[in-house]
Chain A
Amino acid sequence: MSIDETTAARVAKLARIKVEPDALPALAGEFNTILGFIEQLNEVDIDGVEPMTSVTPQMLKRRVDQVRDGDQQAKVLSNAPDAREGFFAVPKVVE
C-alpha cells in the first residue's frame, strides 16, 4: 500500500494539520517508510485472536453518579487563548 500526495493531503486534512503543498512529497515518503515497517504485521497469523481491549484484566470502574465539584468557571477559562463573558471565544462556526 503506497501513499501518494493526494492521500497525504487527505490525512493531513483529517488530522486538522495544515501542510503546505510543497511539503507533501516528503511527508508521503515518510508515511511510506513507516507503513512499510508496519507491513510486517501481515506475516502474523491472527486467526481466532481477539484484539486487546485492556492490558490488565480489570473491570472498568464506575464512579458514583453524583455531583462532585463544579462552579469553577474562572479556573476552567484561566488558560483559554480567548475567553469572553465567561465563554471560550472561537471564530464564526455557522454562516
Chain B
Amino acid sequence: MTKLNELSLSAARDALRAGETTSKDITEACLTAIDGADVLNAFVHHTPELAMERAAAADARIASGDAPAMCGLPVGIKDLFCTKGVPSQAGSRILQGFLPEYESTVSQNLADAGAVMLGKLNMDEFAMGSSNETSVYGNAVNPWRRGNDDAPLTPGGSSGGSAAAVAADLCLAATGTDTGGSIRQPAAFTGTVGIKPTYGRCSRWGIVAFASSLDQAGPMTKSVRDAAIMLEAMCSHDPKDSTSADIPVPDFEAALTGDIRGKKIGIPKEYRMDGMPGEIETLWSEGIAMIKDAGAEIVDISLPHTKYALPAYYVIAPAEASSNLARYDGVRYGHRAKLDQGDGITEMYEKTRAEGFGPEVQRRVMIGTYVLSAGFYDAYYNRARRVRTLIKRDFEQVFAEGIEAILTPATPSAAFGLGEMTDADPVAMYLNDVFTVTVNLAGLPGIAVPTGLDKQGLPLGLQLIGRPWQEGDLLNTAHVLETAAGFVAKPVKWW
C-alpha cells in the first residue's frame, strides 16, 4: 500500500475529496518522512506547527465543501521565497536571521488554494549554482545512487532541496525557481517533473531576486498532471510585479487530453552537442520515437544561435545579479560585519559582503560589476543583450513556421557526485545549463520529464519547450511523453 507521503498531488486531492483520508494524516506522514531524512539535507527550516495548523484548517474547509485546487496538500517551499515570519535566506549567510514581514505572491497563492507548507528547502546560494553545493546550509543530497555505490550525488541546482524532497517523498510537491535551468536540471537529476512557465506567468514579488529578466517560479512534482495542478495555483496577475502578465490563467489540467496527433514537434540540430554521451543521444532518439508514435509530426529545425546562449547568459545574469544584490549592505536586514575601530561605511559594506556572500556569489557579483563598468558596458552587456534578441528570434522563426513544441535533452549528463566538480573551473559547472538556458533568455515555457535510466540506474530527463503562454499545450505534450515513457522508477530508500 502506498504511504500517504508517497501520494501524487492528484491522488491525494482525489482521496481528500472522497473523504478517504485527511490533510492531517498526509501532513503527519510527510513530517515523519522529513524527520527521517536529515541526511538528505533537503528541508533546512522546519515548520511543523504551522503545517499542522494549516492541515486542520484545510480539513475544515474540505468538510464544509470548500476544497480549492491544492486544499490540504503538503508542499515544500524553496528558501528563495519570502514566507512571513519563517526564515527565508536564499541559502545565504547574508540573510541569516531574516524573518520576512510579508509573504511572496506565489506562496500566498498556494496558501489561498489550501496548500500546507511543511518548511523551507535547500538551494544554491541566491540560486547561483547547478549542484546545490554553494548553499550556506551545506549540500542537499540526491536520494538516487549509482547502483550499490554509496557515493553521495548532487540533486542538481539551484532547486536541489526541492528536487531531493519530491524524489524522496518528503512532500507531495515543491516550489522551485528557474533562472537558467534551476527547476529543469534538478528535476532531470532526480526523476521528477519540473516546469518553468513563460516569463510573467508567476509573480516574482517576494521571491529573492537573482536576475530579474530571467527568474521565474514553477512547480516540481511527481507527475505532469501534478505540475498542471500546482502551476495553475501558483500563477496569477499581480499588480505588485510590473512584469506579471495580465492575462487569464487557463485550466492547465483540462488541457491534458493525451492527444497530440498532427502536432509539429521540432528537433533542433544545434542541441546535438559534440561529446554528448551516447546515453543522452539514445534517450533523445527514444523520446522522438514516442512523440512520433503518438501521431505528432517530427520536424528537423535549426536554432542557429544556441551556442551563444550560455556566454550571453553569463553576462546578463551576473550583470542583473550585481545590481539586485547591491541591496545586501548590512544596513536594512541580514548580516552586518563586526567593525574595527575607525571603520567607516565603506569598510562596513566591504566586510559585510565578504563575510555574507559565498565564493560563487562573490564571483558573479564581481563579473556583473565588471561587464557593467565604464568602458565595458557596450562590449559585454549590450552585446549580450543583442545576442539575446537573436536567440529569441531563432525561436520566433520556428514557431512562425508552425512548430508547436521543441524536444531536447534536459541535461548533458545524469547526476554527478558531490565534490566531483570542485577542482573544475567555474565554466565547467556552467555547462550543466547548456540545454535549458536558451529558454530563459527567450522567456519561453520549458518542462523536464523523466523518460529513462542510465546504465548506472540514474534517472535521465528530456525537455520540451513551448510557445509563449501555451503551457497547457506544452503540459499535454509532456503528458503524452510521460505516458509513453512509463517512467515509474523510484530511488531505493537508504536514508
Contacts and interface: CB of A to CB of B under 8 A. Distances in A.
Interface string A33-48: 1110111111110100
Contact of A93 (B242, B344, B390): B344
B387 A18 contact: no
Contacts of B200: 56, 58
A31 B318 CA distance: 12
Nearest to B99: A79
For the side of the interface on A, what is the size category? 35 or more
Contact of B329 (A16, A43, A53, A79): A16
Nearest to A77: B332
B427 interface: yes
A38 B307 CA distance: 11
A55 B367 contact: no
B300 to A, nearest CB: 23
Given A31-B370, A56-B245, A17 B354 contact: yes
Given A12-B366, A37-B427, A49-B386, A18 B351 contact: yes
A70 interface: no
B421 interface: no
Contacts of A41: 308, 311-312, 315, 380, 383-384, 387
B264 to A, nearest CB: 23
Interface stretch (B59-67, B357-365, B412-420, B480-488): B357-365
Interface in B292-342: 305, 307-308, 310-312, 314-315, 322, 326, 329-336, 339
Nearest to A7: B370
A56 B198 contact: yes
A35 B314 CA distance: 9
B390 A17 contact: no
Chief secondary structure at chain B's binding surface: helix
A49 B389 contact: yes
A72 B208 CA distance: 21
A55 B442 contact: yes
B212 to A, nearest CB: 11
Given A33-B425, A40-B307, A79-B98, A14 B353 contact: no
Contact of B367 (A31, A40, A43, A60): A31
For the side of the interface on B, what is the size category? 35 or more
Contacts, number: 165
A11 B363 CA distance: 10
Contact of A14 (B314, B354, B373, B468): B373
B386 A51 contact: yes
Interface string A63-92: 100000000100110111110000010111
Contacts of B336: 81-82
A31 B364 CA distance: 9
Contacts of A40: 307-308, 311
A50 B343 contact: no
B369 A30 contact: no
B453 interface: no
Nearest to B388: A52
B345 A17 contact: no
Contacts of B368: 15
Contacts of B380: 38, 41
A27 B442 CA distance: 31
Contacts of A56: 198-200, 243, 245, 443, 468
B366 A37 contact: no
Given A18-B354, A41-B387, A50-B389, A30 B311 contact: no
8 closest A-B pairs (Cβ-Cβ)?
Answer: A55-B443, A51-B385, A79-B333, A81-B336, A18-B350, A18-B354, A46-B386, A15-B369
Given A15-B362, A17-B353, A56-B443, 10 more contacts: A3-B370, A16-B326, A16-B329, A18-B347, A33-B426, A41-B380, A51-B385, A56-B199, A80-B333, A93-B344
Interface of A: 3, 8, 11-12, 14-19, 27, 30-31, 33-35, 37-44, 46, 49-56, 58, 60-61, 63, 72, 75-76, 78-82, 88, 90-93
6 contacts: A3-B370, A11-B370, A46-B390, A54-B213, A54-B243, A81-B336
Interface of B: 97-99, 101, 198-200, 213, 239, 242-243, 245-246, 305, 307-308, 310-312, 314-315, 322, 326, 329-336, 339, 343-351, 353-354, 357, 362-363, 365-371, 373, 380, 382-390, 392, 425-427, 430, 441-443, 468
